[in-house]
Amino acid sequence: MKYKYGGVEYEGDDFYCYPDSKVLMNRLDIRDNEELHIFERDISYRKMAFISTNPFKGSLDLKYLQKIHRFIFEDIYSWAGRIRGGTFFFKGEAQFCNADMIYPYAENIIGKLRKESWLRGLNREDFIRRIAYFMSEINTLHPFREGNGRTQRIFFTELARRARYELNFSEAQPDELLEADIAAYDKDFAPLEALLDKMLI
């Protein structure tokens, strides 16, 4: 399927990138991926540090994820906070939720969280088991073109806080977390649960 973005025709998810490029279109018109990565990392982590100590109020749902994403990335991307479009979305061998299924899939996940009272009142072992499941589900949802992992970390830090736990992602190495996420995508939750055991207070 083809799309038009900025007067240029693209196929699939390429309409987020500059023509004939894999660099995401951005507010500073940076055309080099490494330079964009450095700028994005600097500003997004400063925003994440702020929101970690000044969390948003409201229900922990898809709109809450959008609000986090918009705050973190609004200085970088014009589409910050918007649900991604396009067709299929792959990273490595993982295929994430089809764009046209993001809203119903999100409602299903949030509905389960709501039924489980947002994981409040669980003992530590059960909390780890259930939050690992929901982290995998939200990761598979992958509602944004970029910045899903950072947005999810803020989301689940706040979910844990409201359940009277502290989730410290700095206790896990990025590669460890990535490998655990990949395993959870394949329904092997043990590595992610082991990491959560280290991260959770």
Query: Residue range 165-193: average pLDDT?
Result: 93
Whether the pLDDT of residue 155 is over 60: the answer is yes
How confident is the prediction for the chain on average, in pLDDT? 91
- In sequence order, what are the beta bridge partners of 167? 200
Torsion 142-29-92-48 (CA) sign: negative
3-class secondary structure, 91: strand
The residue length of the chain stands at 201
Would you state the pLDDT for residue 1? Answer: 46
pLDDT band for position 5 (cuts 50, 70, 90): very low
Q: Decide: residue 198, CB within 10 A, 0-12 exposed, 13-18 middle, 19+ buried.
A: exposed
Closest-CA residue to 156 (of 187, 128, 122)? 128
Q: Are 156 and 173 in contact (CB under 8 A)?
A: no
SS3 83: coil
pLDDT of residue 85: 87
pTM exceeds 0.75 for this model: yes
Residue 69: partners with Cβ closer than 8 Å, 6 or more residues away: 80, 81, 143, 144, 147, 151
- 128-152 mean pLDDT: 96
pLDDT category at 110 given cuts 50, 70, 90 is very high
Longest dimension (CA), the chain: 54
pLDDT at 96: 86
- Residue-range domains of the chain with CATH: 2-199 (1.10.3290.10)
pLDDT tier, 88 (very low <50, low <70, confident <90, very high otherwise): low
Tokens of 87: 């067709």
- Residues 10-41: tens digit of each pLDDT: 455 678 999 888 899 999 999 999 999 999 99
Q: What is the pLDDT of residue 13?
A: 60
pLDDT of 174 above 80: yes
Confidence (pLDDT) at 51: 95
What is the pLDDT, as a whole number, of residue 34?
A: 95
